[in-house]
């Protein structure tokens, strides 16, 4: 691992107005966007301060995992709407030196007192607020356990060393950007319902936050210091655990000290597939993302997407038809593999993909009502944050974690300074009833004690000839899978550089509701052609925020997604 590399090659993606000549050069050369370069390492996150934390860890001799863990704790401070210690997520790690690719599942679990109908009323109707804004909306948090496991097994620095920047940011405060201020101001009505949350995140005089002001979090700093000094079990069995359970009980929740004490992150083998000669590694269940990324790529592999071109009606039609078939399978077959036998081999079979591809007409969209989960028997033998890190030792990390909604359940842990998740909404509150993201679930994802709820988070690493090539992933709820898919296709099928791949407009089809969602930026002619094929095209706001890294013979290129104003890439 490199130590003390020169910072003369360091580049920060910032919103500066280039000169006319500089701005025109990439367009003349055939590229509208250029990634941030690096010779020795790259960090790409959704927040400039978190990127700086990861960069400095690498500069000081840490490896990509050290940087990833430091970033995870830093985002819990500077981006509390999605960065967290009160939620959970997934991390995929690739080590070129050993050839191994692994993943850490630190998804939340249902408390021991959970039961299948807990979010239904006496008539069996789903009570949405119960799974989204109550104390019982929170699964047992996994972030602290997952970060500590990654550091212990694959890092090179101590926990207190990698947590020091986050503690400093919480204690001393940081200058808030417009997105931070706007997020809190816009969420005031929901967050102020909880006295502890109001006290932590809003001014005593009731005035709005403004960009440029300093935000301090003394309680969170103290919590992070306890974890750094005493280790991860402090969160699950120490003073922090007491604060957490006291808060849960005060709000009528069922989570107990035993639930916290019994939580463990799990190391799992990722899902593996191939696409046009590339190896694709992505998160396995209880994430649905890896399975469906591979499944969709399998359906597309024998079609000429390069020939039909990016943004054409032909390409978008074919991809949307593949997407909706994967999401139909998701509704039946995906869940926690420790509780349900997920047919990963069948879903990712190229033979099964050929069967699904044969159902797709190149001229006409298939109505969603005519699509259902496939027969697998013959083949079985939105608010989240993602970041990517890679170093020149061949270590790469793709990490996605979340509280679920923006600011999770809206309930802050009194005396500890952090928000609780509302991941219980990702279970099927009732089979066949959509969750907050419109996703349908079945018995495989029913609520059970100790079970991990299904997720769409899709941290992904693509390799070429055994070398790390593309590290990617995204937030975005149900759109995470399609966002990550499109970044991969943009690079492999359409030859885009990494910044172009993450900046390009996106589309999404999740089977139900029966609509093809598009971002602004596609041609009206393309939309008319898609509508003529039978697609119900609906324009939506920005989808996802992919923070990605491309590695080739020229070095590292970072692509920070402009959909988040604080996104940044830093290279060494």
In this predicted model, what pLDDT tens digit does every residue of 141-170 receive, in sequence order? 999 999 999 999 999 999 999 999 999 999
Is the pLDDT confidence value at 223 over 80?
yes
Calpha distance 19→14 (Å, rounded): 14
Give the whole-angstrom CA distance, residue 451 versus residue 286. Answer: 9
Confidence of residue 13 (pLDDT cuts 50, 70, 90): very low
Residues 65 and 77: their CA atoms lie apart, in Å, by: 19
pLDDT above 90 for 48: yes
Residue position matching structure tokens 């083949």: 379
Active site residue 384: yes
Secondary structure element (H or E) that encloses residue 24, with its range: helix 20-28
pLDDT given at position 429: 85
- Band of the pLDDT at 7, cuts 50, 70, 90? very low
C-beta of residue 170 within 8 angstroms of C-beta of residue 217: yes
pLDDT of residue 2: 35
Check whether 381 has a pLDDT greater than 60.
Answer: no
pLDDT at 545 over 50: yes
Over residues 458-484, the mean pLDDT reads 97
Decide if 553 is inside a domain: no
- Token digits of residue 497: 């550089």
Domain identity same for 152 and 257: yes
pLDDT at 511 over 70: yes
How far is the C-alpha of 131 from the C-alpha of 127, rounded, in Å?
7
pLDDT bin (cut points 50, 70, 90) of residue 1 is: very low
Residue 290 belongs to a domain: yes
What pLDDT is attached to residue 441? 66
Q: Are residues 373 and 395 in the same domain?
A: no
Q: Are residues 221 and 368 in the same domain?
A: no
> What confidence tens digit (pLDDT) does each residue in 17-28 have?
333 334 444 444
- Enclosing H/E stretch for 11: strand 11-12
Is 568 part of a structural domain of the chain? no
Least-confidence region, from 67-71, 372-376, 426-430, 461-465 = 372-376
Instruction: Tell whether the model's pLDDT for residue 433 goes beyond 80.
Output: no
Does a structural domain hold residue 22?
A: no
| Residue 382: per-residue pLDDT | 62
Q: Is 383 exposed, middle or buried (0-12, 13-18, 19+ CB in 10 A)?
A: middle
Q: What is the pLDDT of residue 503?
A: 96
User: For the chain, what is the domain count?
Assistant: 2
Average pLDDT over residues 119-123: 94
Please give the residue range of the domain that contains residue 243: 48-116+126-262+388-428
Tell whether the model's pLDDT for residue 11 goes beyond 70: no
Residue 504 pLDDT > 60? yes
- Under the banding of pLDDT at 50, 70 and 90, the label for residue 32 is confident
Tokens of 552: 């080739």
Domain match, 377 and 469 both = yes
- Statement to judge: residues 331 and 231 lie in one domain: no
Q: Are residues 55 and 159 in the same domain?
A: yes
The alpha carbon dihedral of 49, 55, 56, 57 has a sign of positive
What is the pLDDT confidence band of residue 9, given thresholds at 50, 70 and 90?
very low
pLDDT at residue 99 is higher than 50? yes
User: Where would I find the beta strands (DSSP E) of 171-242?
Assistant: 174-175, 214-215
Could you tell me if 89 and 219 lie in one domain? Answer: yes
- Tell me which of 48, 102, 109, 384 is the catalytic residue: 384
Cβ contact 504:498 at 8 Å: no
Query: What ranges in 359-505 are assigned the alpha helix state H?
Result: 480-492, 498-503
Same domain, yes or no, for 411 and 481?
no
User: For the residues 269-276, what does the mean pLDDT come to?
Assistant: 98
Mean pLDDT of 69-85: 98
What number of helices (H) and strands (E) belong to the chain?
21, 20
At 250, is the pLDDT very low, low, confident or very high (cuts 50, 70, 90)?
very high
Answer whether 447's CB lies under 8 Å from 265's CB.
no
Name beta bridge partners: 214.
Answer: 175
pLDDT per residue as tens digits for the range 321-363: 999 999 999 999 999 999 999 999 999 999 999 999 999 999 9
Q: Give ∠ CA 563-293-155 in degrees, rounded to 5.
A: 75
The average pLDDT across 84-99 equals 98
Compute the average pLDDT of residues 211-236.
98
Q: Give the C-alpha separation, 493 to 501, whole Å.
A: 11
| pLDDT given at position 3 | 35
Asked if 152 and 56 sit in the same domain, the reply is yes
Q: Are residues 205 and 56 in the same domain?
A: yes
Ranking 206-220, 304-318, 381-395 by mean pLDDT, the lowest is 381-395
Would you state the pLDDT for residue 378?
A: 58
Q: What angle do CA 305, 460, 475 make, to 5 degrees?
A: 95
Q: Residue 479 domain-assigned?
A: yes
Pair 418, 533 in one domain: no
* Whether residues 373 and 419 fall in one domain: no
CATH number at residue 287: 1.10.246.130
**What's the mean per-residue pLDDT of the chain?**
92
- 353 assigned to some structural domain: yes
């Amino acid at each position: 691992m490199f130590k003390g590399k020169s910072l003369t090659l360091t580049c920060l993606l910032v919103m500066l107005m280039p000169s006319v000549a500089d701005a025109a050069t990439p367009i003349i050369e055939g590229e509208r966007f250029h990634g941030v370069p690096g010779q020795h390492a790259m960090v790409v996150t959704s927040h400039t301060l978190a990127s700086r934390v990861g960069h400095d860890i690498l500069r000081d001799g840490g490896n990509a995992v050290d940087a990833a863990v430091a970033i995870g704790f830093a985002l819990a401070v500077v981006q509390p709407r999605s960065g967290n210690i009160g939620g959970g997520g997934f991390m995929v790690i690739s080590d070129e030196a050993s050839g191994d690719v692994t993943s850490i599942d630190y998804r939340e679990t249902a408390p021991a007192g959970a039961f299948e109908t807990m979010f239904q009323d006496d008539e069996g109707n789903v009570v949405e607020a119960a799974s989204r804004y109550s104390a019982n909306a929170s699964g047992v948090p996994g972030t602290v356990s997952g970060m500590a496991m990654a550091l212990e097994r694959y890092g090179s620095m101590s926990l207190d060393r990698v947590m020091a920047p986050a503690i400093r940011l919480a204690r001393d405060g940081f200058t808030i950007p417009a997105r931070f201020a706007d997020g809190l101001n816009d969420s005031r009505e929901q967050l102020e319902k909880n006295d502890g949350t109001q006290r932590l995140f809003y001014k005593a005089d009731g005035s709005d936050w403004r960009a440029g002001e300093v935000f301090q979090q003394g309680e969170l700093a103290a919590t992070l210091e306890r974890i750094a000094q005493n280790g991860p079990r402090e969160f699950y069995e120490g003073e922090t655990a007491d604060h957490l359970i006291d808060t849960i009980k005060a709000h009528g929740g069922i989570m107990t000290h035993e639930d916290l004490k019994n939580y463990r992150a799990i190391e799992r083998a990722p899902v593996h597939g191939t696409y046009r000669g590339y190896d694709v590694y992505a998160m396995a269940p209880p994430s649905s993302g890896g399975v469906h990324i591979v499944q969709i790529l399998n359906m597309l592999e024998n079609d000429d997407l390069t020939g039909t071109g990016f943004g054409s009606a032909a390409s978008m039609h074919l991809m949307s038809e593949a997407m909706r078939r994967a999401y139909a399978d998701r509704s039946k077959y995906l869940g926690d593999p420790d509780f349900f036998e997920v047919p990963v081999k069948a879903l990712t079979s190229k033979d099964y993909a050929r069967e699904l591809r044969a159902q797709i007409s190149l001229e006409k969209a298939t109505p969603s009502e005519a699509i259902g989960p496939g027969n697998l028997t013959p083949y079985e033998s939105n608010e989240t944050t993602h970041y990517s890190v890679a170093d020149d030792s061949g270590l790469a990390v793709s990490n996605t974690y979340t509280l679920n909604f923006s600011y999770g359940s809206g309930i802050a842990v009194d005396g500890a300074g952090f928000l609780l998740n509302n991941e219980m909404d990702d279970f099927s509150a009732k089979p066949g009833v959509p969750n907050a993201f419109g996703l349908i679930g079945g018995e495989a994802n029913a609520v059970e004690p100790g079970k991990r709820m299904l997720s769409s988070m899709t941290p992904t690493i693509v390799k070429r000839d055994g070398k790390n090539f593309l590290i990617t992933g995204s937030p975005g709820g149900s759109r995470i899978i399609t966002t990550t898919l499109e970044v991969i296709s943009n690079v492999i099928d359409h030859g885009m550089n990494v910044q172009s791949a993450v900046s390009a407009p996106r589309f999404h089809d999740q089977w139900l509701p029966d609509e093809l969602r598009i971002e602004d930026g596609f041609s009206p002619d393309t939309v008319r052609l898609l509508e003529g094929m039978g697609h119900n095209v609906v324009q939506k706001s920005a989808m996802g925020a992919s923070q990605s890294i491309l590695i080739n013979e020229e070095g590292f290129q970072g692509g920070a997604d402009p959909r988040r104003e604080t996104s940044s890439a830093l290279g060494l």
